[in-house]
């Protein structure tokens, strides 16, 4: 329903990870201690270490595995071994998927609740920025090595953002995510017009529809960032204008403070006060112009993004935030666009699944 008739970006087909078996080369067990909010005491073969990226084979365990029951004693001896179907990833764990389903389901409030009092329909009270900040800080269900959470977060993103891994993780978890989302929705209790109750069947359908719209719009922004030739240049211009506005504000605050100090001094110096006021007025004008330039740049980026399919289904602030997220990924890896397009395709599929649930 949501897919284009042809992909704008050609990339190799992902490996068939959902066919019951997958062929992997098992690495030798690492010695580093693994951090992670879901399994903090375990050692994981695929956990990204603090100084580099994770191996692409992290979807198996090197120690005796709860998923496979196998023990890998020598990576070289296991080249080409056929392993049973993978059940869980050691970096992006099932706990992350379950927590994400819980987080999204709990963001829904039906009509008649306090959160939706200004609306005739239900609402989602969390957005993309809040979601990104939540997992960027909490790291729930994500595993990494070392004590530097910022570097751990960076290496988890590097691990995920390849076309093969993005597709493999989606294939591994999509069905279970949808099942978890449905189950979480059934357990939610909301105060609707003074009555504490579970969500109705129609409200759960509405939740799926609202989430589908958000997911579809997000997929559209990712696609726009890849297809628009100057998208990243526009984001960079926004960052530059934002920096200038912050610097201009600093100068204005300094000039304002100087003027106030001279004006409130017991021994007043009229010439010094006049000079300080002139400097303050000039700094204020510069600050105002910097703000206007920043907003023009932001609006230009938002308008350019909105020309692409699905993007207009979401507010401009969210769209710009997603574009800035893509920009940061490009700064870390200039070849990340194929993975971004893979995310786009998978999010469209997820949106379609949600919309089908809403239509049942």
Say if residue 53 is in the same domain as residue 159.
yes
Determine the pLDDT at residue 179.
98
Q: Answer whether residue 211 is part of any domain.
A: yes
User: How many structural domains compose the chain?
Assistant: 2
Say if residue 283 is in the same domain as residue 313.
no
Q: Answer whether residue 51 is part of any domain.
A: yes
Strands 34-36 and 143-145: antiparallel
Determine the pLDDT at residue 211.
98
Q: Which of 263, 283, 306 is the last residue of a domain?
A: 306
Say if residue 302 is in the same domain as residue 315.
no
Q: Answer whether residue 194 is part of any domain.
A: yes
Determine the pLDDT at residue 36.
52
Say if residue 57 is in the same domain as residue 201.
yes
Q: Low-confidence residues of the chain, pLDDT below 50? A: 5-34, 37-45, 50-73, 75
Say if residue 269 is in the same domain as residue 324.
no
Q: Answer whether residue 318 is part of any domain.
A: yes
The DSSP string of 265-305 is -SS--HHHHHHHHHHHHHHHHHHHHHHHHHHHHHHHHHHHH
Alpha helices in 9-162 (DSSP H): 94-105, 128-138, 149-160
Rounded-to-integer distance, Cα 204 and Cα 359, Å: 11
Say if residue 58 is in the same domain as residue 122.
yes
Determine the pLDDT at residue 34.
46
Rounded-to-integer distance, Cα 110 and Cα 196, Å: 12
Say if residue 100 is in the same domain as residue 224.
yes
Q: Which of 270, 291, 306 is the last residue of a domain?
A: 306
The model carries a pTM of 0.77
Q: Answer whether residue 7 is part of any domain.
A: no
The CATH number given to whatever domain includes residue 242 is 1.20.120
Determine the pLDDT at residue 119.
83
Determine the pLDDT at residue 69.
43
Say if residue 146 is in the same domain as residue 269.
no
- Give residue 139's region: left, alpha or beta (phi > 0; psi -120 to 50): left
Q: Answer whether residue 142 is part of any domain.
A: yes
- Domain limits at 260? 234-306
Determine the pLDDT at residue 84.
63
Determine the pLDDT at residue 13.
44
Q: Answer whether residue 5 is part of any domain.
A: no
Say if residue 72 is in the same domain as residue 209.
yes
Determine the pLDDT at residue 154.
93
Rounded-to-integer distance, Cα 251 and Cα 279, Å: 10
> Does residue 203 sit in helix, strand or coil?
helix
Say if residue 193 is in the same domain as residue 182.
yes
Say if residue 27 is in the same domain as residue 71.
yes
Say if residue 189 is in the same domain as residue 286.
no
Q: Answer whether residue 212 is part of any domain.
A: yes
């Amino acid at each position: 329903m949501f897919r284009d008739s042809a992909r704008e970006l050609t990339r190799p087909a992902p490996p068939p990870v959902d066919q019951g078996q997958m062929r992997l080369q098992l690495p030798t067990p690492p010695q580093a201690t693994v951090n992670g909010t879901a399994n903090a005491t375990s050692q994981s073969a695929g956990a990204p270490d603090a100084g580099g990226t994770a191996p692409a084979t992290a979807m198996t365990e090197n120690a005796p595995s709860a998923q496979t029951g196998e023990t890998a004693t020598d990576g070289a001896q296991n080249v080409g071994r056929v392993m049973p179907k993978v059940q869980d990833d050691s970096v992006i764990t099932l706990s992350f998927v379950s927590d994400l389903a819980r987080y999204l389901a709990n963001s829904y409030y039906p009509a008649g609740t306090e959160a939706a009092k200004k609306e005739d329909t239900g609402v989602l009270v969390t957005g993309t920025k809040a979601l990104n900040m939540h997992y960027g800080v909490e790291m729930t269900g994500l595993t990494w090595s070392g004590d530097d959470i910022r570097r751990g977060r960076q290496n988890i993103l590097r691990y995920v953002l390849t076309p093969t891994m993005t597709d493999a993780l989606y294939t591994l978890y999509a069905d279970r995510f949808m099942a978890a989302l449905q189950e979480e929705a059934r357990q939610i209790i909301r105060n609707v017009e003074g009555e504490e109750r579970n969500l109705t069947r129609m409200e759960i359908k509405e939740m799926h529809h609202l989430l589908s719209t958000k997911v579809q719009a997000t997929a559209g922004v990712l696609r726009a960032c890849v297809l628009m030739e100057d998208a990243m240049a526009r984001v960079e211009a926004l960052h530059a204008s934002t920096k200038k506005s912050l610097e201009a504000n600093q100068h204005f605050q300094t000039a304002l403070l100087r003027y106030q100090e001279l004006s409130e001094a017991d021994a007043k110096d009229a010439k010094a006060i006049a000079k300080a006021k002139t400097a303050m007025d000039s700094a204020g004008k510069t600050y105002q112009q910097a703000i206007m330039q920043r907003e023009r740049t932001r609006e230009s980026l938002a308008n350019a993004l909105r020309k692409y399919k699905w993007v207009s289904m979401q507010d401009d602030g969210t769209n710009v935030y997603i574009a800035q997220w893509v920009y940061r990924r490009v700064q870390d890896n200039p070849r990340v666009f194929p993975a971004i397009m893979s995310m786009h395709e998978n999010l469209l599929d997820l949106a379609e699944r949600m919309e089908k649930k809403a239509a049942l």
